[in-house]
Amino acid sequence: MAKPGILQLGAYPAWDEEPLNAAFTVHRYFEAEDKAAFLAEVGPSIRGIATRGELGASRALIEACPHLEIISVYGVGFDAVDLAACRERGIRVTNTPDVLTGDVADLGVAMMLCLSRSMVAAERWARDGSWVKKGGFPLQRRVFGRRAGILGLGRIGFAVAERLKGFGMQIAYSATAPKAAAGDMRFIADPVELARQSDFFFVTLAASAATRHIVSRQVIEALGPEGMLINVSRAANIDEDALLDALEQNRLGGAALDVFEGEPKLNPRFLALDNVLLQPHHGSGTVETRKGMGQLLRENLTAHFAGEPLPTPVI
């Protein structure tokens, strides 16, 4: 039987390319110079799309594949997939939850520590002779025992909270409703109030049209000049212009960001700031997790074409 045709939207590590190519007829969209001509040629043979969290799949792309049955996302976030377009045609969508939770939470907590103790500038201080010339590094703010707010207590939010407990932090969270599993973490429904009562404010919620700019100018103001914002979710959850304004005017203490509007290009305003920690969207970027994500991406495609239940369906 002919192998199902798959449109691959972005590159994967070699250990994923090989089994993907063995099981499917893979068309590498991301390498095509003339994308429109490429799609016109291969679109009708495509039954599955293999994409990445940040790339998703647009309505135009979906429409160019009239026999599309499934979109398998290499990532937990599926906000960039046009779900409405998929629903209209009964196209299945899968993602890769759980396998990346620990790594994303680790990076978020590392970003908090790194920003709060100014570790990047401190490293420069040790390297460039400032330590010898100027003496000890300027004093920074403490992390342990302080107040953390978690916006979005899903898998990743919980994993962040578990880690923060080790720092003796007082943890509050905001979610659509209180969570039974939250234990002694305080529920604060309003993100502005959560920010007011936080020293470190973690954004760990899945992005959707409803959460766009949920970290608004008011939330940022409420976090204030001593507060620090950590985002390991999606840039669209934050009003980036409001964030930049606050950082430039020192109305926010600092921000540690793994995601940006228009990434991988950064708004140049970020580069002029020293109260930010900028990371290249690599929350899930460990060998172990990426292997797990690749495997789950393929397992979903394989199960679909074998007529079996999908391991991790979104719709």
6 vs 246 by CB, closer to ligand 8YV = 6
Strand 92-94 vs strand 186-187: parallel, antiparallel, or unpaired?
Answer: unpaired
116 vs 284 by CB, closer to ligand 8YV = 284
Beta bridge partner(s), residue 298: none
Q: Which of 117, 147, 251, 281 is catalytic?
A: 281
Strand 200-203 vs strand 92-94: parallel, antiparallel, or unpaired?
Answer: unpaired
CA distances from 65 to 11, 26, 74, 75, 188 (A): 20, 14, 19, 22, 44
As a whole number of angstroms, the distance between CA 214 and CA 231 comes to: 12
Q: Are 220 and 252 in contact (CB under 8 A)?
A: yes
The one segment of 28-36, 46-54, 175-183, 297-305 that binds ligand 8YV by CB under 6 A: 46-54
Q: Which of 5, 48, 75, 149 binds ligand 8YV (CB under 6 A)?
A: 75
Query: Residue 128's Cα: distance from chain center in Å?
Result: 33
The number of beta carbons lying within 10 Å of the beta carbon of residue 156 is 26
Q: Which of 234, 290, 298, 304 is catalytic?
A: 234
Examine the residue annotation and report whether 63 is marked as an active-site residue of this protein. no
Q: Considering the rule CB under 6 A, would residue 77 count as an interface residue with ligand 8YV? A: yes
Give the end-to-end CA distance of the chain in Å, rounded to a whole number: 27
As a whole number of angstroms, the distance between CA 97 and CA 77 comes to: 8
Q: Which of 17, 221, 263, 299 is catalytic?
A: 263
Least distance to ligand 8YV from the beta carbon of 51, Å?
A: 8
Q: Which of 54, 82, 199, 239 binds ligand 8YV (CB under 6 A)?
A: 54
Q: Considering the rule CB under 6 A, would residue 74 count as an interface residue with ligand 8YV? A: yes
Q: Are 258 and 107 in contact (CB under 8 A)?
A: yes
Residues 91-110 vs ligand 8YV: string with x where CB under 6 A? ---------x----------
Q: Considering the rule CB under 6 A, would residue 232 count as an interface residue with ligand 8YV? A: no
188 vs 314 by CB, closer to ligand 8YV = 314
Examine the residue annotation and report whether 33 is marked as an active-site residue of this protein. no
Write out the residues near ligand 8YV by the rule CB under 6 A.
Answer: 52-54, 74-77, 100, 281, 284
Catalytic residues: 234, 263, 281
